Structure formats: structure tokens, C-alpha cells
Structure 1
Amino acid sequence: MGLPEDRERFSEIGEARREDLTEFISHGDLGGSGPDQVRIPVKIVDLPAFEYDQREVGGVGQGDDGQPQPGQPVDPQPDDGDEAGEPGEEGGDHEYYEMDPEEFAKELDEELGLDLEPKGKQVVEEVEGDFTDTARTGPQGSLDVDEFFKRGLKRHLATDFDESYVREGLFVDGAGVDEVFTWAREASIPVSRAWIADAAREIEADRGEPVESVARWADFETLAAEVDREPAGKRIRRQGIDTIPFRRADERFRHPEVIEQHERNVVVVNIRDASGSMRETKRELVERVFTPMDWYLTGKYDAAEFHYIVHDAEAWEVDREEFFGIQSGGGTRISSAYERVEEILEEYPYNEWNRYVFAAGDSENAGADTQQNVIPLMRSIDANLHAYVETQPGGTTQNARHAEEVERALGDTDNVAVARVTGPDDVTDAIYEILSTEDTDS
């Protein structure tokens, strides 16, 4: 095995030794990744280098500067950074394992035990499948011969009857065509009056006298008791079928099955409290929860669009880069963000888009804003999932009641999740709590 193969093998080992996904989400540097590329650091793996064996001392080929010591590299580089000088200012060249959001979502499913199956809503195209559907019209070349034959045979069997048995009805004392027809119908014999009339004329022609005058049975009850009707199946097995009178109504033509393909679209609105109480640690916890969920949903859906709203007492929309860092000195009115959400989602009809609304903060809110405004707004905004993430390092404070009030009012609904994060180790549990709550019947 050559050196290139060795390096490739060690690279594969490096990929296997990258940070665990949960470890990366909870403690890793999320800032090195972009919206469409997740970069996970690889734990350092030293490549092998040739060294002098301490058993091989002396001999021809000794260098000018004396005998190399055991463990010294065979070919030290002149610019290996050992010379005197100022400390370096450039960082080391770290290795990363890169994955796209689709791979990230698949691995997160496996690692957290998630089972989110996105639903397609908007029909983007209709495609033709196998020729499994049939219709009454179509080109002659697409006639379904098997179906045509089965329909004709089924109709033939449904109209077949024991002709000899019906003829015997004409030999009942005093029975004419009308009486025999009424008797046959009451006995569920599928015979027409015209057939009985033809049979009566044949009997009269043979005997030269009216059919009513020929009496063999006292009444129809006696006939039924004395003569057995032969079932159609038995008669067909005995006599076979000479012809099946097909009709145009029996024709069925094969058509391809029409399959609707739905595009799995999602719009995600992320909300963050930017008031003065949201210090750096709280903002970092918001980032650790929201960023992986953005990657996850991007990987799960065909098309994903994101909006970012920050608020203090008022709400405004920002881009992704500003979302996690911005801070205000104002108070907090969470309903201002949901009012903005309503405006944004007007552009994304619920029958065409999957909709997620994720909010995060330290659970502090002005007065009765949660009860009077936020909860009614959450009820009125159609979404696959509403979530609130409380970020309170060290535990909830006395004024932090928003998460508790939302949970008390909406905790029993199928599309509302509340998660609490007090430190990085709670992040993956919060992500699972949120993503496993989605209302899959929406």
C-alpha cells in the first residue's frame, strides 16, 4: 500500500472520528457552517512519519551534525517553525467533515430517534403511472380484453336460467303467460315475459291446443316440490358455453393511473426576544436550538423558506446574520412578534405550505400579554407546529411565566411544544421535544 492510499485511509478514519452530532450541537462551533453546508470538526489524527530506530546507531551515512537521536524525524524540514521569532498570529488548519442538510437531517433522525415525515401540500405536477385504470371510452388498441370478457361473462351468468324448469310452469293447471311470468319473478328467475310467450307458442304449435288446456301440475307449489332447478354453474359445467353475447357496455379501455406529485414546501418563522434581559448566554442557547432545526427542516423539505423576527416591546424582521446577535434595551411584548407572523404567513397559504412558528426567550413578558394576546394569536395562526423555547441559565426566575402559561393553556394540543433550556446539555432534548410534537395529521 502506497502513501496516497495511507493518507486516504487515515482521512476515512478522521471522518469516523468526527464529533458526535449531539456533542457538536450542544458544544461545537456552529458559526463555521452555512445554511446549506454543515461543517463538523474532525478530531485530530496524526499521520505516520519515519523515525530512526534507537537500535540502529552509528554506521555509514552519519550526518554532519552528529548522530540523530532515537525518535528524530528522518528528514526534518528547514521551515518547521522552530526558529526564534514572534508568536504566530494565524490559526491552525483544522479538518472538517462536511455534510449537506439532507444528510444532517438523516443522521439527526437516527441519533435522536425522530420520525418526521414531511407532508406535500401543493400539487406541482401530475404524472402517468402504470395502465391500471379503466374507462368506458378510449382508443380501440387499449381495449382491456380480459375485463371485456369478464364483464360479458358475468352479465351472461346473471341472466342465465333453467329453461326446462320455466317451461314446466306452462303446464301448471290454468296457468297462462302472465301467471308463469309472475311466478318466475317471485322465484327470482331472470326470465323475460317475451321468452315465456315464445315458449308458449312453441308448445301450442306442437300440441295444436292452447297452453292453458295442458295441465301437468295442480299448482306452482307442486311443481316446485317435484322438479329441481338446475343451478347455472352446474348446467354450464355440463353443457359448456357456446357463445357470450357481448355488448358495447361491457367494453373497458385501459388508461394510465394519474399520480399527483406534491411539493413538500415549508416556511419557518423564527422569533427571538431581543430585550435587555436576553444576555449573551441566553442568545447562544437560542442559536444552539434554532440553527440545527433550520438545517434539519432544510434537509427534510423540497423547498424551505425562513423568516427571522426579533422583538422587545415592538417586533421587526431581520436577516439570519443579525438574528442571534442583536440586543435591545427595551421591554418585552411577545405578542408584537406574533402580529408580525400573521402578516408574513399571509403569503404562504396553509393549504399549500407546511408552516412552523418557533419562538424563544427567557419567558419574561409584559403584564397579561401572554394570556390576552399571545395565546389567542397562537390559536388563530394555522401551523403544523408552534414551539416556545425558554432559555434560563440557572433556572426560571419569578417573572418568567410565559412558557408556563402557554403550556397550561395549549399543552394538550397536538401542534404546540414548550421546551426549557438551562444549558448546552439541554439543547438536543429541546430539539427532540419540539420536532417530535408536530401534528402529522395537519
Structure 2
Amino acid sequence: MGLKDDLERYRDVGEERRQDLAEFIQYGDLGQSRGDSVRIPIKIVDLPEFEYDQRDQGGVGQGEGAEEGDPVGQPQPQPGDGDDGEDGEPGEEGGEHEYYEMDPEEFAEELDEQLGLDLEPKGKKVIEEKEGDFTDITRTGPSSTLDFERLFKKGLKRKLAMDFDEDYVREALKVDGWGPATVYEWTREQNMPVSKAWIDDAYEELPADEKAVWDSIEEMEDIVEKVETSQRIRREGVDQIPFRREDERYRYPEIVEEREKNVVVVNIRDVSGSMRQKKRELVERTFTPLDWYLTGKYDNAEFVYIAHDADAWEVERDEFFGIRSGGGTRISSAYELAAEILEEEYPWSEWNRYVFAAGDSENSSNDTEEKVIPLMEQIPANLHAYVETQPSGNAINATHAEEVERNFRDADNVAVAYVSSPEDVVDAIYDILSTEDQ
């Protein structure tokens, strides 16, 4: 096994020992990742390398001007050799083997497996109509699309329904004293699909000396065996199938709508003066994995970031988690802006929608009951979620999450989660996504 094989083997071992996903979400550096690539730290496996033996600086080689037994030279300093650590400590330098990179699709699969989720996104926007399999049927069409199998089955079914044992009926015409009328009545009783005209013709063709072969119909039935249609077909095959034009059907392709699984995620964050650093970090630690997850689940994912204090405004993602204002709090302002953006740019008929909000549950008086809850009811979405971040426990006036939870207790598209420390983040993500999963 060569060094290259060793390198690959150690890399595989390292990837297998990457940080547990839950540990990464709770404590990892989320900022190392991008929207299209999630970088999960792995436990480093040191690779073997050659180095100088510091205990023996002598050597037996000799060069120009060297005497036998003189040392070859001082070993070159290596990173990390210095006592002061200025040349670098082990693991300080980054490298490809220090991270396991997964795309959002793999991240979503890993999170599904770890949390026991099975979210199946729905396609909304029709991006293409194309011909599918020839499964639909019409009465007209080009001869090349004639459904001959269907036509044959129709004809064969009719053949079986019209078939009878002609020889058996002819024997009945040979009963002494029986004419076509009597035989016709007898065939009706026997449920034989034979016409009166056929019986008349057969009687006319019968020689006169054969019209009194049997003394009675009972004698004929005892001696002559009736052959069922299925037996006769197996024995003789089918010479003709009675096709009819009204049986003709033509196949044409089903029109299949190709729907894109697209989603818009509206992330709302309270940036008022009470949202200090620990609260902001908990919001980022909850929202970022949700963004990755939904990116991995949908064909096309777009994100809207709204910050609010007493007023709301749209921001870029890079500034979303860092903003802090000194103003008060009116959560409804963010939902008003979200409703406006969704209505103008992301119609419900074409987009899956997720509206995620987070804050410390502090809100201006009566705003939750009078405005936020009605707005949440009016905004169609796959899922509404509110995440309360209170590192020190519930504040006296932090009632927004409780009011939302109480009002939407029986709703199947509203989730409320409580995060007071990084340990709560994974449970909060599960509470949110499992609501949508159900």
C-alpha cells in the first residue's frame, strides 16, 4: 500500500469521524459554510510523514570540505518546533482534511435520518407540459395509434358471446317431429345465442332422411355430447374475430405537467434593544440549519430576510443576524411587510411558503392578539413558526410565543419552539420540521 492509498484511507477515516451533526448545529462554527456547501468539522487524523531524528544530529555522509564523522548539518526548523508557538500549533493551519463538505441535499438527508423526518416537498409552479405515456384513449386518431390489443379483446369477447355448438343444434333438428320453430324455442331454454334465421337455413340444408334420426330430444341429449365454446377454441382455434368500427380506440399521450418544487422562506428577526448577542446567536443557530435543510429539499429555494423593531425592513442575509437596534418592538410590522412581499413576488399558487420568525417574545401591548395572529391566519403558508430565544428564562413581559401557541393549538401549520441554550436548538428544529412533516 503506497502513501497515496494511505492518504485516502486516512481521509475516509476522518470523514467517518466527522462531528455529530447535532453537535455541529449546537456548537459548531456555522459561518464557515456557504449556502451551497455545508462544512462539517471532522476529527483530524494525523497523516504519517518523515522527519529528522532530533536525538542524533550526526551522520556518516560527507560532502565537499567535510571530514569523516562531521555532522551533516543542523535539521531545518519545522512548523510547531518553537517553544513560543509562533510558528504554529498543531491543527492551527486549515486543510481540506479538516472539514467534511456536504451539499444541502446531503445535509437534508442526514438531518432527516438523525431526527427521523421524512418531509416530501410538493411541486407547485408548472414549468413544462410534456407528453407522457400513451395511456389516454380516444375514438379517433391515426391508424398507427390504433389500440389493436383492445380491439382484439373486444372482438374476442363478442365472438365468445355469439358462439354456440352448431353440430349440437343440427342434431336437435333431426328429432322426429321437430321443426325450426320447436328447435328455436329449445335453444332459448338452453341459452344458446342462435338466430331463427340460422336454424331455418340449417333445416333446409338437412337431407330428408336425416329429419327423424332421434325419437326424442332426451335421446339426442343422452347420446350427443355438447362441446363448450372454450373447449372448441382450445381444440380448433379461432378462424374469425368479429371486429366492429365502434370498438376502435386510439391511444394518445397523457399530458404531464412538470412542476418545479420551489420554496420561498421568509426569515423574520426581532432586532430591538432587548435582543442582545446571546439571543441573536440562538436565532442564527436555529435559522441557518433550517435554510440549509429547505435548500436541500427543494429544486429552487429563495430567501427573504426581514428585520424589525417597531418598524420592519428587508435586509440581506449577511447583515440579518448582526443587526441590533435601540428601538421598541412591534412584531406585526414584520408580518405586514412579509404579506406584501409574498403577495407581489411569490404567489401561493406557484410557491411553497415558510414564514419563520424569532425573537425574545417581547412585543408591544396587544400587538400579538390584535394584529400578529390575524396576519398569520391571513398569510397562506406551508408552515408558520415562531422561535423564542430567552437564554435566562422567560421574562415577565415575554408572552408572544405563549399567545401564538395558545391561539394555534389545534392548527396543523403553526409551530412554536423555545430555545434558551444551544442544547435546545436541535429539538426546536425537530419541533418545527415535524409539524410540516405531519
TM tier, shorter chain?
0.7 to 0.9
Indicate the RMSD between aligned Cα atoms, in angstroms.
4.4
Residue 118 of structure 1 and its aligned partner are, at CA, apart by 1.0
After superposing the two structures, state which structure 1 stretch, 292-301 or 94-103, moved more: 94-103
Residue 238 of structure 1 and its aligned partner are, at CA, apart by 7.3
Match of residue 3 from structure 2: 3
Alignment pair present for 1:22 and 2:19: no
Q: How many matched pairs?
A: 417
Please, which runs of 5 or more residues in structure 1 have no aligned partner?
A: 69-73, 208-215, 218-227
Alignment pair present for 1:149 and 2:152: yes
Match of residue 210 from structure 2: none
Counterpart among 101, 125, 141 of residue 128 in structure 2 = 125
Match of residue 274 from structure 1: 271
Counterpart among 386, 404, 407 of residue 406 in structure 1 = 404
Q: Letter of the aligned partner of 1:112 in structure 2?
A: L
Match of residue 76 from structure 2: 76
Match of residue 258 from structure 2: 261
After superposing the two structures, state which structure 1 stretch, 292-301 or 395-404, moved more: 395-404
Alignment pair present for 1:434 and 2:432: yes
Normalised to the residue count of structure 1, the TM-score between the two structures is 0.78
After superposing the two structures, state which structure 1 stretch, 325-334 or 424-433, moved more: 325-334
- What is the 5 A alignment of 1:212-251? 233=230, 241-251=238-248
* Separation of aligned partners in 2, 1:357 and 1:84: 52
Instruction: Give the conservation status (yes or no) of the 8 Å contact 2:180–2:199.
Output: no
- Superimposed CA distance per residue, residues 73-103 of structure 1 (whole angstroms, 9 cap, x where no aligned partner): x953377673989898xx9422332222112
* Separation of aligned partners in 2, 1:319 and 1:348: 18
Residue 234 of structure 1 and its aligned partner are, at CA, apart by 5.9
Instruction: Give the conservation status (yes or no) of the 8 Å contact 1:415–1:439.
Output: no
* Separation of aligned partners in 2, 1:37 and 1:239: 71
Counterpart among 284, 287, 295 of residue 298 in structure 1 = 295
Distance 1:53-1:369 versus aligned 2 partners, 3 A rule: closer
Match of residue 222 from structure 1: none
Alignment pair present for 1:98 and 2:101: yes
Q: Letter of the aligned partner of 1:27 in structure 2?
A: Y
Counterpart among 359, 362, 379 of residue 360 in structure 2 = 362
Please, which runs of 5 or more residues in structure 2 have no aligned partner?
A: 208-215, 218-224
Residue 355 of structure 1 and its aligned partner are, at CA, apart by 0.8
Secondary structure at 2:429's aligned position in 1?
helix
Counterpart among 91, 108, 123 of residue 111 in structure 2 = 108
* Separation of aligned partners in 2, 1:85 and 1:38: 31
Instruction: Give the conservation status (yes or no) of the 8 Å contact 2:136–2:251.
Output: yes
Instruction: Give the conservation status (yes or no) of the 8 Å contact 1:129–1:256.
Output: yes
Distance 1:189-1:388 versus aligned 2 partners, 3 A rule: farther
Instruction: Give the conservation status (yes or no) of the 8 Å contact 2:391–2:421.
Output: yes
Match of residue 35 from structure 1: 35
Counterpart among 303, 308, 312 of residue 311 in structure 1 = 308
Residue 310 of structure 1 and its aligned partner are, at CA, apart by 1.3
Residue 137 of structure 1 and its aligned partner are, at CA, apart by 3.4
Secondary structure at 1:336's aligned position in 2?
helix
Instruction: Give the conservation status (yes or no) of the 8 Å contact 1:278–1:362.
Output: yes
Distance 1:396-1:84 versus aligned 2 partners, 3 A rule: closer
After superposing the two structures, state which structure 1 stretch, 123-132 or 312-321, moved more: 123-132
Instruction: Give the conservation status (yes or no) of the 8 Å contact 1:384–1:439.
Output: no
Residue 166 of structure 1 and its aligned partner are, at CA, apart by 12
Q: Letter of the aligned partner of 2:318 in structure 1?
A: E
Residue 203 of structure 1 and its aligned partner are, at CA, apart by 6.3
Q: Letter of the aligned partner of 1:126 in structure 2?
A: E
